[in-house]
Amino acid sequence: MHPIVRTVIQRLALSIVTLFVVSIVIFSSVTMLPGDFAKSILGQSATPETVAVFQRELGLDKPPVQRYFEWISKVAVGDFGNSFASGAGYKRTVVDVIKPRLWNTLFLASMTAIIAVPLALFLGIMAALHRNGIFDRTINATTLTTISFPEFFVAYVLMLFLAVQWHLLPTLANVSADMSLGERIWRCLLPALTLTLVIIAHMMRMTRAALISLLASPYIEMARLKGIPNRQVIMRHALPNAWAPIVNVIAFNLAYLIVGVVVVEVVFVYPGIGQLMVDAVSTRDIPVVQGCALIFAATYILLNLLADVISIATNPRILHPR
């Protein structure tokens, strides 16, 4: 078997084991939360008989180990159970609750990535080419400033100037399923710009650092002595070898765009999965909380696996460290 294929299979198996362990942690954490979920939902006036019937209906009367294996066996086939917020006659599955919110979050993350990743790579390359120059210092100071502020502060500053004073963009990003693509993009521009300012510094600085370390290499000097233009030296010789650390940072930031945008979603009233999880925790909708947490974990694991595969495919020397 080819070493790259064998490594990918090993990483995939390790990812599955990691996800299994994370599922145990998620279920145990939710189970150990204080309070009785049935009493919390039914209220203090509920009789013990009513609470017992409700617990039996939800399966909360079973031992935790049995409930875990029943839950994880259903999750393995795509069944996350029913939301506790369901009522008689209008039961909603966790998948039905999460699906539109996850789609909204993926849309916002994709839109941000389309803006942030090429911009960060461009700025990183330009900063490396003009190291210690005015452009390099300006870009470094600007990105470090934006990343130093909390997300909600950056969001409110952009909202103040771009939406309230200059009326260039809408204040809220309250999208809906029947909205056209153009209107959805228009409403998502402000949160996408906020997230871009939050994540761009990591990717830009990693690109700059990786390229600067390679630009001093003998083979880069040889390419320059041959008269190859700087642009070709960067794109053909330096960037492919610097791709491994850059793609890891990009994957980390893309994962953040999916699992860490709760604050931005709350500020712009954006109906994403982060805000759904906050609402589910406050209403003690345990199946939805478990489903969201498992999706967050799977996203991190999947994107890190993808980053490893891309790093190995673009630079097979990683398999043979000295």
Q: How far from the centroid of its chain's Cα atoms is residue 305's Cα?
A: 14
Mean per-residue pLDDT, 65-85: 86
Q: What is the pLDDT of residue 226?
A: 84
pLDDT higher than 80, residue 222: yes
pLDDT higher than 90, residue 111: yes
Q: What is the pLDDT of residue 130?
A: 85
Residue 322 binned pLDDT confidence (cut-offs 50, 70, 90) = low
Mean per-residue pLDDT, 249-275: 85
Residue 255 binned pLDDT confidence (cut-offs 50, 70, 90) = confident
**268: β partners:** none
Q: What is the pLDDT of residue 193?
A: 93
Q: What is the pLDDT of residue 314?
A: 73
CA–CA dist 312, 296 (Å, integer): 24
Residue 319 binned pLDDT confidence (cut-offs 50, 70, 90) = low
Q: What is the pLDDT of residue 320?
A: 65
Cβ atoms of 265 and 272 within 8 Å: the answer is yes
**How many contiguous H segments (helices) and E segments (strands) does the chain have?**
14, 0
Residue 141 class from Cβ within 10 Å (0-12 exposed, 13-18 middle, 19+ buried)? Answer: exposed
Residue 300 binned pLDDT confidence (cut-offs 50, 70, 90) = confident
Residue 25 token pair: 């942690």
Nearest residue to 189 via CA among 114, 98, 103: 114
- Determine phi and psi for 82, rounding to 5 degrees: -105, 150
Residue 288 class from Cβ within 10 Å (0-12 exposed, 13-18 middle, 19+ buried)? Answer: buried
Residue 145 token pair: 């400033």
Residue 307 class from Cβ within 10 Å (0-12 exposed, 13-18 middle, 19+ buried)? Answer: buried
Long-range pairs of 68-77 with CB within 8 A, sequence gap ≥ 24:
68/24, 68/27, 71/27, 71/290, 72/20, 72/23, 72/27, 75/23, 75/294
Q: What is the pLDDT of residue 184?
A: 92
CA–CA dist 75, 80 (Å, integer): 5
Q: What is the pLDDT of residue 86?
A: 62
pTM value? 0.84
Q: What is the pLDDT of residue 87?
A: 56
Residue 213 binned pLDDT confidence (cut-offs 50, 70, 90) = confident
Mean pLDDT in the chain?
85
Cβ atoms of 184 and 100 within 8 Å: the answer is no
Q: What is the pLDDT of residue 318?
A: 67
